[in-house]
Amino acid sequence: MDRTERFYKIQAMLMAKPSVTMKQMQDTLEVSRATLNRDLAYMRDRLGIPFAWDAGLRGYALTRQQSADKTFELPGVWFNQQEIHSLLTMIELIAKLEPGGLLLPHIEPFRARLEGLLDQGVGGSKEAMNRIRILPMAQRQVSSDYFQSVTHALVQRKRLDIKHHARQTGQDTDRQISPQRLVYYRDNWYLDAYCHLREDLRSFSLDALKGVHITEKAAKNVDEAKLREVFETSYGIFSGKDHHVAKLKFTPFRAQWVAREVWHPEQVGKVDVDGSYTLEVPYGEDWELIQDILRQGPDVEVLAPAALKKKVKETLKRMMRLY
């Protein structure tokens, strides 16, 4: 029986009887008197559970509160040490993912409560956080006000008036969009939306927004199947519908990693006799796929289609001119 289960048992006994003796607890929990004393001290001092030794009842009993404050009510949910470490890691992840610290004020009391449940020393909350590092790479800054407006409109199903900066052309455009879903992709936030200016689905990088205003107009809802068809059938975040299938061959060395990676839900991969790995992925727009191919250096070869192979070759030539 672990410590968390013992807490459950002690709680149940205290709630079931007017008082409970040390012997009754020891017999039920099958622990030493020293262990039981540590458990009782932890429950009283760290969890704030209202119980005390009652000389008249000759046992431990719950004490009544004199106010309506619920602070000292017995907790309805218990976590063991491993579960607390996992939850603290999730909170740390949330803090790294969401811009501007919008959620932190709401989850901070929960974090403090979890940290208070951990013992000092080895396995404590500070030790756990010192041993866990979450490092978002190439994360672009997003205005916390814009992020909050986008999430509010998304949930409330309202349209947004935005000013969007297109990096390819350097131009700004005013658009009205109906937000469909928020996507966290490669350490950055994107908004899938129906663009009323283009009358089609588009994906917008939140860091490319120069203005966001929530309107009173109801958002246009797009069927989930349609969203998957447009945004998830081909490679990359700005994918569009897939029109091509890239066939890539990785060296045996690189295959040790790539064979375990998911580049696309509908990819087809095969480990060859020599240990190399052949990967087929559908794609529409090719610029992001080309970037990922170049990241592999000399450990990948584009087998097909010919147009993709030509683009990679031309990109390499332009790179060579820089050196």
pLDDT-derived band at 99, boundaries 50, 70, 90: low
pTM of the predicted protein model: 0.65
- Integer CA distances (angstroms), 184 to 10, 139, 291, in order: 44, 11, 19
CATH number of the CATH domain containing 299: 3.30.70
CATH number of the CATH domain containing 40: 1.10.10.10
Contacts by 77-82 with C-beta closer than 8 Å and gap 24+?
78/4, 78/7, 78/8, 79/4, 79/114, 79/117, 80/2, 80/3, 80/4, 81/3, 81/118, 81/123
Q: Is residue 233 part of a domain?
A: no
Q: What integer pLDDT is reported at residue 135 of this predicted model?
A: 77
* 151 and 125, same domain (yes or no): no
- Crossing angle for the helix pair 3-16 and 22-29, to the nearest 10 degrees: 140
Q: What integer pLDDT is reported at residue 120 of this predicted model?
A: 45
* 99 and 48, same domain (yes or no): no
Comparison of pLDDT for 58 and 174, the residue scoring more: 174
* 281 and 314, same domain (yes or no): yes
Structural domain that includes position 169: 144-227
If you average pLDDT over residues 145-163, what whole number do you get? Answer: 94
Classify the phi-psi angles of 100: left when phi > 0, otherwise alpha if psi is within -120 to 50, otherwise beta: left
Q: Is residue 69 part of a domain?
A: no
Percent of the residues in the chain that have a pLDDT greater than 70, as a whole number: 85
* 118 and 188, same domain (yes or no): no
* 197 and 269, same domain (yes or no): no
* 93 and 32, same domain (yes or no): no
Number of domains into which the chain is organized = 4
Residue 249 CA to residue 267 CA, distance in Å, equals 13
Q: Is residue 73 part of a domain?
A: no
pLDDT-derived band at 67, boundaries 50, 70, 90: very low
Q: Is residue 309 part of a domain?
A: yes
* 177 and 203, same domain (yes or no): yes
* 148 and 223, same domain (yes or no): yes
Q: What is the mean pLDDT of the chain?
A: 85
Q: What integer pLDDT is reported at residue 105 of this predicted model?
A: 73
Comparison of pLDDT for 265 and 197, the residue scoring more: 197
Q: Is residue 239 part of a domain?
A: no
Q: What integer pLDDT is reported at residue 5 of this predicted model?
A: 78
Biggest CA–CA distance in the chain, Å, is: 91
Least confident among 70-79, 157-166, 179-188, 259-268: 70-79
Q: Is residue 232 part of a domain?
A: no
* 120 and 193, same domain (yes or no): no
Q: Is residue 234 part of a domain?
A: no
Least confident among 41-50, 134-143, 214-223, 238-247: 238-247
* 220 and 149, same domain (yes or no): yes
CATH number of the CATH domain containing 219: 2.30.30
Residue 235 CA to residue 283 CA, distance in Å, equals 5
Q: Is residue 300 part of a domain?
A: yes
What is the residue-wise DSSP string for 258-314?
HTT--S-TT-EEEE-TTS-EEEEEEESS-HHHHHHHHHTGGGEEEEE-HHHHHHHHH
Least confident among 75-79, 115-119, 131-135, 270-274: 75-79
* 25 and 92, same domain (yes or no): no
* 46 and 98, same domain (yes or no): no
Residue 144 CA to residue 147 CA, distance in Å, equals 5
Comparison of pLDDT for 22 and 240, the residue scoring more: 22
